[in-house]
Amino acid sequence: MDQNTSPYVAHVFVCTNDRGGVRKSCADNNSPLVKSELKAAINANGWKGKIRVSTSGCMGLCAKGSNVMIYPQKIWFSDVSPEDVGGIVAALESLMT
């Protein structure tokens, strides 16, 4: 096993866990669209290769979902909907300067 330093300034995890309406889950707030829009914004800002957006399974915080976490900065956004993507992008922009 090799241990390396992350090649990314930030890694964004978007929970897309879907419980099919049985219990609250992050997908209830359309988190797959949040992820898609975040990826598009990363590309549009020229941050590809510097910021990584990944799907996450359950983060254990379903009651506050959708959840988006940024590491290694330990930034957590809860109750996220697609309309909130601009705010997340603004937070990422502050990390890039």
Mean pLDDT within 77-81:
96
Within a domain: 20: yes
Six-digit token string for 54: 């990944």
Q: Is the pTM of this model over 0.85?
A: yes
Domain containing 16 — which CATH number?
3.40.30.10
DSSP class of 48: B
Predicted pLDDT of residue 20: 85
Within a domain: 66: yes
Within a domain: 1: no
Mean pLDDT within 7-36:
92
If one counts the domains in the chain, the total is 1
For 40-76, the pLDDT digits (tens) are 999 999 999 999 999 998 898 888 889 999 999 999 9
Residue 34, helix vs strand vs coil = helix
pLDDT > 90? residue 12: yes
Instruction: Choose among 86, 78, 94: nearest CA to 31.
Output: 78
For 91, phi then psi, to 5°, come to -65, -40
Within a domain: 54: yes
Mean pLDDT within 15-21:
89
Predicted pLDDT of residue 88: 98
Distances (CA, A) of 37 to 5, 6, 14, 26, 78: 27, 23, 11, 16, 17
Domain residues for 54?
10-96
Cα four-point dihedral sign 67, 76, 62, 7: positive
What share of the chain in percent tops pLDDT 70?
Answer: 100
Within a domain: 91: yes
Determine how many CB atoms are found less than 10 A away from the CB of residue 24. 13
